[in-house]
């Protein structure tokens, strides 16, 4: 059986892929451009993709494909309607990155909240060695204890963040983007109420018609001037032009983003040109990517293929 991985570079060179060798003949491609997809999937029964698009523009030329394994939770890069019609099984992987994303959420927060970049530079540039006092209070920060943490999207990751925030002494409130989520452990509120009450707001929701452009300039006007926004959901949830404007006008204290509307970031993105760059932290979509998380991802792909061979895949989407 022929298996191909179209974008192995997104999994990292340090991840062990040898488990796939027991399942068939594996071809590994670090990256596959759009015009190279057809050639690479032809003759393969199983295709593994993270972000490479598989749809009616390429799948009809590879009738041998019977299983698509998405190396992620989201399946927006696969034409599910086409796959269903052609009886191509699609499997994803859910829950593998939760510990990693929860950890990165707090890494982003503390970097901003405690001005770590400023203080690190203060010491390493020699300014501290010239100081007459033992400390530096130029970037005051506040404690999490007693503050309100608002979560947009209280799914598996949101619940993980809520648990840690509560351990720090935060009051946790949440907004359900679907309107259907209920959790008795925390207070469910409307979006406007969450924006007005929260000192920290973290986003852990999927991107869909209900969440696209959810936070705009009017949203930022509702937030507290000391508030910090963290987006670890999807980039399109936050209007980036409006966020840049809000940061420049000091409507909020800061923002940290691990996701953007277009990835990689475009050179003309207004977030790259805000007046005070210290108010903004951007990481290149790495929250999910601890080594342990990526290895769990690969193992779940192996498990999905094993299940397919036995007729019962564990994470079948269609």
Active site residues: 234, 263, 285
162-184 burial, b for 16+ CB within 10 Å, e for fewer? bebbeeeebbbbbbbbeeeeeee
Q: Give every CB contact of residue 140 below 8 A, 6+ residues apart in sequence.
A: none
Crossing angle of helices 98-113 and 116-124, in 10° steps, is 60
Q: Which of 193, 112, 103 is nearest to 148 (CA)?
A: 193
Tell me how far apart the alpha carbons of residues 168 and 256 are, in angstroms, rounded to a whole number: 19
- Count CB atoms within 10 A of the CB of residue 71: 23
Cβ pair 224, 201 in contact under 8 A: no
Tell me how far apart the alpha carbons of residues 268 and 295 are, in angstroms, rounded to a whole number: 35
- DSSP-derived pairing of the beta strands 254-257 and 187-188: unpaired
Helices vs. strands in the chain: H and E counts, helices first:
9, 12
Q: Which of 287, 34, 306 is nearest to 49 (CA)?
A: 34
Helix (H, G, I), strand (E, B), or coil: what is residue 299?
helix
| Number of residues that this document lists for the chain | 318
Q: Give every CB contact of residue 267 below 8 A, 6+ residues apart in sequence.
A: none
């Amino acid at each position: 059986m022929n298996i191909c991985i179209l974008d192995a570079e997104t999994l990292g060179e340090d991840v062990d892929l040898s488990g796939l060798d027991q399942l068939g003949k594996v071809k590994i491609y670090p990256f596959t451009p759009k015009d190279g997809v057809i050639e690479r999937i032809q003759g393969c029964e199983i295709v593994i993709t993270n972000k490479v698009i598989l749809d009616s523009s390429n799948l009809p030329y590879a009738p041998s494909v019977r299983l698509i394994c998405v190396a992620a939770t989201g399946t927006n890069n696969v034409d599910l309607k086409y796959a269903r019609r052609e009886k191509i099984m699609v499997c994803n992987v859910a829950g593998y990155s939760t510990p990693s994303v929860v950890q990165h959420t707090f890494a982003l927060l503390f970097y901003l909240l405690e001005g770590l970049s400023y203080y690190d530079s203060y010491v390493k540039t020699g300014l501290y060695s010239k100081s007459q006092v033992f400390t530096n209070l130029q970037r005051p920060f506040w404690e999490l204890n007693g503050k309100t943490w608002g979560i947009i999207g209280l799914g598996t990751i949101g619940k993980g963040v809520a648990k840690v925030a509560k351990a720090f002494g935060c009051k946790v409130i949440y907004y359900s983007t679907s309107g259907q989520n209920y959790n008795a452990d925390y207070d469910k509120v409307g979006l406007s109420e969450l924006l007005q009450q929260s000192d920290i707001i973290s986003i852990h929701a999927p991107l869909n018609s209900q969440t696209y452009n959810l936070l705009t300039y009017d949203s930022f006007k509702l937030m507290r001037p000391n508030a910090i926004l963290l987006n670890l959901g999807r980039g399109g949830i936050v209007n980036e032009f409006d966020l840049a404007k809000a940061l420049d006008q000091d409507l909020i204290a800061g923002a940290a983003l691990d996701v953007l509307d277009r990835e990689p970031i475009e050179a003309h993105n207004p977030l790259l040109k805000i007046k005070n760059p210290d108010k903004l932290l951007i990481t290149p979509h790495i929250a999910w990517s601890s080594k342990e998380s990526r290895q769990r991802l690969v193992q779940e792909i192996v498990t999905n293929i094993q299940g397919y061979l036995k007729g019962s895949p564990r994470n079948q989407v269609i």
